[in-house]
Homo-oligomer: A and B are copies of this chain.
Amino acid sequence: MARSISEIQSFQPVARTLMGPGPSDIYPAVLQALSRPTVGHLDPLFIAMMDEVKQLLQYAFQTDNPFTLAISAPGSAGMEACFVNLVEPGEKVIVCRNGVFGDRMRENVERCGATAVMVDDAWGAPVSPEKVEAALKAHPDASTLAFVHAETSTGACSDAQTLARLAREHGCLTIVDAVTSLGGVPLKVDEWQLDAVYSGSQKCLSCVPGLSPVTFSPRAVAKMQSRTHKVQSWFLDQSLVLGYWSGEGKRSYHHTAPVNSLYALHESLLRLYQEGLEHAWQRHQDMHQHLKAGLDELGITFVVDQPYRLPQLNAVTIPDGVDDAAVRQHLLTTYNLEIGAGLGDLAGKAWRIGLMGYGARHENVALCLKALENALR
């Protein structure tokens, strides 16, 4: 029962250890950056910081794309930004579905007035390049291939490089969900020639939730520029947003940027740059191995086969006879430790243990293993 409005007080959250599918543990320096004094969204100081955010995002994405920025809303809006800008009504899009987010892509395609051709793989399996190639051959009129690089709902990593090559061979652009991959596993936008890629601030970047980094290749930009229909979303129309994020001279007002959240993103990207991508990828892998060793001892097995496992998102099968909700509740109330529930097909069957960004540390692995051991006793 909600309390009376007159009883409401300032919110004082408990400090949790966040080992779910995100938000992940935030770098302390990122929380400090977040609360620095707000400046105007057209202040020259802020514009200069945005330029740095773009440079740091280009590093994180491994791209020289000039059209690289952060959408002022969560990853779901980043997904929608890619679809509404690249897909026109009447087009056909091949959508790979091996978890929740492939299905969300289908929703986006259909709401653009386009047709989604679904390529289904099992939850926990990667996207099958063979099935994708067959679909591309069967649908030579498709304009776009859309797939999830790192499926947050299952912990499976798909071969983005191969999928993008197949798309190019069949004249398709690619829309790639890198929400959970960015910063956690190799993601090389230019080398792999990905066209439209979106991510989220609250996963392996260890920034607060609410922003969606995106990058568009020159091929994607050309497609946007040759559109015959207006983008159905004014807020997400990237041709308008770019007037604020770019330009040698004057920046034009589009919407009021989330100033403080961008301070936080700047700081988290700077941390990633200073650590170095290769080091960050290795750290995620190392912590995953430590977690796996401990889970093996507890007899807990993975949903995803070894070659396709994301180190940063460990979906594990809930042992027989164990009360899913009771265990998560115990971890939360006794240890202030959050792990993720299963989503969609995996609801009640799996837990999702995140080792993302700042959360990929020995102390988090040790806490999680010991707390799970006690909870399952």
Q: Which of A228-236, A282-290, A310-318 lines the interface with chain B?
A: A228-236
Cβ contact within 8 Å between B38 and A35: no
Partner of A259, one of B38, B41, B209, B263: B209
Q: A20 with B40: in contact, given A13-B45, A208-B258, A258-B261 (CB under 8 Å)?
A: yes
Interface residue? A247 (CB, 8 A) = no
Interface residue? A22 (CB, 8 A) = yes
Within 8 A of B (CB), among A1-41: 2-3, 5, 8-16, 18, 20, 22-23, 25-26, 29, 31-41
Interface residue? A279 (CB, 8 A) = no
Partner of A74, one of B9, B256, B270: B256
Within 8 A of B (CB), among A195-223: 200, 202, 208-210
Interface residue? A322 (CB, 8 A) = no
Cβ contact within 8 Å between B209 and A41: yes
Cβ contact within 8 Å between A39 and B55: no
Cβ contact within 8 Å between B39 and A31: no
Cβ contact within 8 Å between A56 and B233: no
Partner of A43, one of B52, B209, B338: B338
Cβ contact within 8 Å between A31 and B37: yes
Cβ contact within 8 Å between B10 and A37: no
Chain B proximity of A358: nearest CB distance (Å): 11
Cβ contact within 8 Å between B23 and A10: no
Cβ contact within 8 Å between B208 and A73: no
- Which residues on B sit within 8 Å (CB–CB) of A12? 36
Q: A258 with B59: in contact, given A13-B263, A209-B41 (CB under 8 Å)?
A: no
Complex CA distance for A305 and B144, rounded to whole angstroms: 54
Cβ contact within 8 Å between B267 and A13: no
Across the interface, name the chain B residue whose C-beta is closest to A12. B36
- Which residues on B sit within 8 Å (CB–CB) of A20? 40
Cβ contact within 8 Å between A257 and B209: yes
- Which residues on B sit within 8 Å (CB–CB) of A131? none
Partner of A32, one of B35, B46, B208, B266: B35
Within 8 A of B (CB), among A337-352: 338, 343
Across the interface, name the chain B residue whose C-beta is closest to A341. B42
Partner of A233, one of B36, B49, B110, B233: B233
Within 8 A of B (CB), among A66-83: 72-77, 79-80
Task: Place the interface of chain A in its size category.
Answer: 35 or more
Chain B proximity of A199: nearest CB distance (Å): 12
* Complex A-B: 29 CB contacts under 8 Å: A5-B59, A10-B270, A11-B33, A11-B52, A13-B36, A13-B49, A14-B37, A14-B39, A16-B40, A23-B40, A23-B259, A26-B37, A31-B260, A35-B35, A40-B338, A41-B209, A72-B77, A73-B74, A74-B255, A75-B255, A76-B255, A77-B77, A80-B233, A200-B256, A209-B257, A209-B258, A232-B232, A253-B343, A261-B261
> Lowest 3 A-B CB distances belong to which pairs?
A210-B258, A35-B35, A73-B73
Residues of A within 8 A of B (CB): 2-3, 5, 8-16, 18, 20, 22-23, 25-26, 29, 31-41, 43-46, 49, 51-52, 55-56, 59, 72-77, 79-80, 104, 107-108, 110-112, 200, 202, 208-210, 230-235, 253-261, 263, 266-267, 270, 273, 332, 338, 343
